[in-house]
């Protein structure tokens, strides 16, 4: 792609590094920015820089946060004794959009997948076990993608928790096996949370 400006080409190359953004889309975005007032473009750039510099990982649940604790963990109206265990931050956003869950979360940062070289030590499993051991946790709800890797992660954590009196459940399988949680519609996620079932039922 021949461009009339080296600066324009550099900007297009940077935008095209984003997921799902090809050269043509990147060029369209850059040309759009060029039409905006300098103040608007500057505000756009400042927002990106602040986001990258000032966002943190919640020290308790590993969600994205603007402070040491995220807005969910620090909210006294949330049920701190109920923890929904998810794979990624995108899953937190997906479940929150249903407005059907009033507990807290724990982001594992992935799932156990030996073929991909991901083991338990690379995930935030130990901090979760520490929360269970030290806190007044009544229930763990596993909201992991319904795959073999997801089920393996559930079984591993459940085994590491023993002996424990904490109730362990998983969201109902309203989501197709092998599907991705973040792409499920809000109604499916809401019903899955409402009709969660004991982990033992997965073995049947």
Q: Which residues lie closer than 8 Å to 37 by C-beta, 6 or more apart? A: none
Residues in the chain: 204
Name residue, tokens 């603007």. 66
Interhelix angle 6-15/23-35, rounded to 10 degrees, is 120
Tens of pLDDT along the chain (204 residues) come to 677 888 899 999 999 999 999 999 999 999 999 999 999 999 999 999 999 998 999 999 999 999 899 999 999 999 999 999 999 999 999 999 989 899 999 999 999 998 889 999 999 999 999 999 887 899 999 999 888 899 899 999 999 988 888 999 988 766 666 767 777 778 777 777 777 777 777 665
CA dist list (Å): 161 to 51, 62, 70, 107, 157: 36, 20, 25, 17, 6
pLDDT number for residue 69 = 93
Beta strand extents in 32-102 (DSSP E only): 56-57, 64-65, 79-86
Q: Are 44 and 35 in contact (CB under 8 A)?
A: no
pLDDT number for residue 204 = 52
In degrees, to the nearest 5, what angle opens at C-alpha 19 toward C-alphas 15 and 20?
95
| Token output for 109 | 């940062």
Range 129-133, long-range pairs (CB < 8 A, 24+ positions): 129/157, 129/160, 129/161, 131/60, 131/83, 131/106, 132/83, 132/161, 132/164, 132/166
Q: Are 166 and 133 in contact (CB under 8 A)?
A: no
Interhelix angle 89-96/186-194, rounded to 10 degrees, is 90
């Amino acid at each position: 792609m021949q461009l009339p400006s080296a600066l324009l080409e550099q900007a297009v190359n940077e935008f095209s590094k984003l997921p799902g953004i090809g050269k043509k889309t990147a060029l369209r975005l850059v040309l759009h920015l060029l039409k905006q007032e300098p103040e608007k473009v500057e505000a756009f750039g400042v927002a990106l820089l602040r986001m990258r510099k000032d966002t943190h990982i919640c020290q308790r649940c590993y969600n994205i946060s603007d402070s040491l604790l995220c807005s969910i963990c620090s909210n006294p109206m949330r049920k701190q004794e109920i923890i929904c265990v998810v794979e990624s931050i995108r899953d937190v956003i997906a479940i929150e959009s249903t407005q059907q869950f009033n507990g807290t979360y724990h982001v594992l940062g992935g799932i156990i997948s030996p073929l991909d070289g991901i083991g338990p030590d690379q995930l935030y499993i130990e901090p979760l076990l520490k929360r269970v051991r030290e806190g007044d946790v009544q229930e763990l709800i596993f909201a992991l993608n319904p795959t073999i890797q997801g089920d393996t992660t559930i079984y591993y954590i459940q085994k590491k928790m023993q002996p424990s009196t904490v109730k362990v459940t998983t969201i109902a399988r309203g989501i197709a096996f092998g599907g991705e949680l973040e792409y499920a519609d809000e109604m499916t996620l809401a019903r899955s949370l409402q009709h969660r079932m004991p982990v033992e039922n997965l073995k049947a």
